[in-house]
Amino acid sequence: MVTRRDLITYTSFSMVLSALGFTPAVFAAQGLKLGTDTPFSFEGLIQQAKESAKSPYVAPQQVPDSAVASINYDIYSKVMYKPEYALFNEGVSRFPVTFFSVSNLHKLPVKMAVVENKRAREIIQNADYFIFPDNSQGALSAVKGNVFSGFRVLEHRQPLNKPPVKDWVSFLGASYFRAVGELGQFGVSARGVAINTVFGDTKEEFPDFTQFWFESPEKDSDRLVVYALLDGPSVCGAYRFDLQRTQGVVMDVDCVLFLRRDVGRLGIAPQTSMFWFSEMAKGSASDWRPEVHDSDGLAVLTGSDEHIWRPLNNPLQIRVSAFSDNNPRGFGLMQKQRDPESYLGSAGYERRPDLWVEPKGDWGKGSVQLIEIPTDDEIFDNIVAMWVPEHEAKAGSEHQFSYRMHWLADEPYPSTLARCGITRLGRGGNPGAYTDPAARKFMVEFHGDVLEQLPADAHIDAVVSASRGTLKDIKVNKLPSDKGHWRTFFDLHVDGKEPVELRLYLKSGDKTLSETWMYQYLPFTSSPKPLQGV
């Protein structure tokens, strides 16, 4: 609570500092040491990135290993940033900014600066801004130079001598960042750009955000504008993030990329998540929980207004799927299963956010690409989704993209048609007649108002197609316990080990009733062995 004395003191100091060329918003960072001011604008940052891309890449210098040797994962989780040094912790802003220290996991220091009236002042970094447990900072306190590895935006101002305030956005490591959804949980991550992710024998690159600029916010604003410079061996880029705290988090992103060399797979608005297993296809005795994943499917809204739902796989080998499109309207990794019993209270997976990317302007032709990488544990992010433009990404080329990111509990623009629900797999055939051990039965649920209005004897057709194999026993029926849910069953008979691309939607006459379910069936990972008699 701000007292009258606080207000008078703040106002008096603001008047004095304004006369000296400082403003109230910069005064909000008075605990931090700031450098001299220099001109700043997004246009200038774009020009800086363009000029830098003309020169050979020079890797930024990391802090010495000896300086962070004692700051391991366990210690790092206990390091606290002192609230008296929080950026915007006083004054007009609702959302203070605090910083992460370098560690033996994140050795690259990142420059930070405050922007006011198109003038930027760099934050002079110091290990004294942090509280390290058991004096674990060791040699870091002797480092002369930058020691911040990233930042977080807090939900509200941080009182002194109180427990840390929860954050709603964080940027940490390479070009990774994440935000909470409306259920208050972190999960899926995003990146500034993806370079050659799973592209032949080409090694993937992870460009870094090497500097951030924080624009002084307006009074009581629910927004925070952050600028970033991205640099890597193949690319240099300028970013503008308009972060807004809503029921979840909304980010408006503008980026301009300049390529130093050819890129085989240029991933725009990439997302990274974890999918180990679900109840749909769980390996025997792999884990005691029914499901473990941050996301369970990819949703796409095409330029022709088709809603697509694609459940995720944990394959035995890397799989890349491409959904070709022209000017997509949106895509994202979603957590559709929200029942806590599906995860048995583990890690809050039912509260993981959905991340929806909404393109702005003309993105042209390309594809939403989904990359699924094998994993045998929940600690690895093995799922990537991104937009890959059709045109080649050549050295010397420039690429501009604008988009909005929605971190929510569902798609921001859900289909008015029936939506895909649970997918189940089992042995093909019927009890007592499992004659083909390679056959698989699929059950896909659909739900929504358009189905709720139909009687149980309504004639609904399931339009099913497979890239290979034979489809049999296609049925659609209504769940007796829920008038808004219908189930589709079909058997797939297929030989060989190559993937099968499946596609399904519901219709009645000429009227489409549902969004489109798509799935990549992997026979060599999913086919059951024949049962042996006892």
* pLDDT tens readout for residues 180-225: 999 999 999 999 999 999 999 999 999 999 999 999 998 778 899 9
Q: Are 222 and 90 found together in one domain?
A: yes
Q: Are 175 and 106 found together in one domain?
A: yes
Confidence (pLDDT) at 6: 31
Confidence (pLDDT) at 400: 98
Helix (H) or strand (E) holding 97: strand 97-101
Residue 14's pLDDT band, with cuts at 50, 70 and 90, is very low
Q: Are 70 and 156 found together in one domain?
A: yes
Q: What is the pLDDT of residues 470-513, one digit of tens each?
A: 999 999 999 877 667 899 999 999 999 899 999 999 999 999 99
Hey, what long-range contacts does 15-23 have (CB within 8 A, 24 or more apart)?
A: 23/116, 23/117, 23/216
Q: Are 131 and 227 found together in one domain?
A: yes
Confidence (pLDDT) at 469: 96
Residue 90 maps to a domain: yes
Residue 92's pLDDT band, with cuts at 50, 70 and 90, is low
Q: What is the pLDDT of residues 123-142, one digit of tens each?
A: 999 999 999 998 788 789 88
Residue 140 maps to a domain: yes
Q: pTM for this structure?
A: 0.90
Point out which residues pair with 361 in neighbouring strands: none
Give me the phi and psi of 12, to 5 degrees please.
-65, -45
Asked if 357 and 324 touch (Cβ cutoff 8 Å), the reply is no
Q: Which domain holds residue 159?
A: 23-182+203-264
Give me the phi and psi of 26, to 5 degrees please.
-70, -35
Asked if 437 and 530 touch (Cβ cutoff 8 Å), the reply is yes
Residue 449 maps to a domain: yes
Asked if 148 and 102 touch (Cβ cutoff 8 Å), the reply is yes
Last residue of a domain, one of 212, 245, 264: 264
What is the residue type of 127? Answer: A
Residue 403 maps to a domain: no
Confidence (pLDDT) at 210: 98
Residue 27 has pLDDT above 80, yes or no: no
* Number of residues assigned to the chain: 534
Taking CA atoms, 262 is separated from 73, 195, 244, 392, 394, in Å, by 36, 10, 35, 8, 4
Rounded CA gap, 70 and 140, in Å?
Answer: 9
- What percentage of the chain reaches a pLDDT higher than 90? 76
Residue 121 has pLDDT above 70, yes or no: yes
Confidence (pLDDT) at 308: 98
* 3-class secondary structure, 206: coil
HEC assignment per residue over 284-322:
CCCCCCCCEECCCEEEEECCCCCEEEEECCCCCCCEEEE
- Name which of 73-82, 177-186, 281-290, 454-463 the model is least confident about: 281-290
Rounded CA gap, 344 and 400, in Å?
Answer: 44
Residue 322 has pLDDT above 70, yes or no: yes
Rounded CA gap, 366 and 443, in Å?
Answer: 31
Q: Are 522 and 498 found together in one domain?
A: yes
Residue 9 maps to a domain: no
Q: What is the pLDDT of residues 342-399, one digit of tens each?
A: 999 778 999 999 999 999 999 999 999 999 999 999 999 999 999 999 999 999 999 9
Q: Which residue has the tokens 């560690």?
A: 103
Q: Are 294 and 225 found together in one domain?
A: no
- Name which of 166-170, 238-242, 424-428 the model is least confident about: 424-428
8-33 average pLDDT score = 42
Residue 12 maps to a domain: no
- E strand segments, 142-207: 148-154, 167-172, 176-179, 189-191, 193-195
Residue 412 maps to a domain: no
Rounded CA gap, 155 and 98, in Å?
Answer: 11
Max distance between CA atoms of the chain, in angstroms, equals 91
Instruction: Give the domain CATH number at 146.
Output: 2.70.98.10
Rounded CA gap, 228 and 37, in Å?
Answer: 18
Rounded CA gap, 343 and 378, in Å?
Answer: 12
CA 75 to chain centre: 26
Q: Two tokens at 227?
A: 């600028």
In the chain, the number of structural domains is: 3
Residue 528 has pLDDT above 70, yes or no: no
Q: Two tokens at 130?
A: 């942090």
Q: Are 426 and 305 found together in one domain?
A: no
Q: Are 207 and 296 found together in one domain?
A: no
Residue 160's pLDDT band, with cuts at 50, 70 and 90, is low
- Helix, strand and coil content of the chain, in percent to the nearest 5, comes to 15, 45, 45
Q: What is the pLDDT of residues 436-473, one digit of tens each?
A: 888 999 999 999 999 988 888 889 999 999 999 999 99
Q: Are 234 and 128 found together in one domain?
A: yes
CB neighbourhood size of 317 (10 A) = 10
Rounded CA gap, 84 and 169, in Å?
Answer: 20
Confidence (pLDDT) at 18: 35
Residue 335 maps to a domain: yes
Residue 525's pLDDT band, with cuts at 50, 70 and 90, is low
Q: What is the pLDDT of residues 59-68, one digit of tens each?
A: 999 999 999 9
Q: Are 250 and 319 found together in one domain?
A: no
DSSP letter for 393, please. B
Last residue of a domain, one of 338, 372, 391: 391
Q: Are 118 and 218 found together in one domain?
A: yes
Rounded CA gap, 80 and 83, in Å?
Answer: 9
Confidence (pLDDT) at 251: 98
Confidence (pLDDT) at 436: 82
CB neighbourhood size of 287 (10 A) = 15
Last residue of a domain, one of 375, 391, 407: 391
Q: Are 100 and 249 found together in one domain?
A: yes
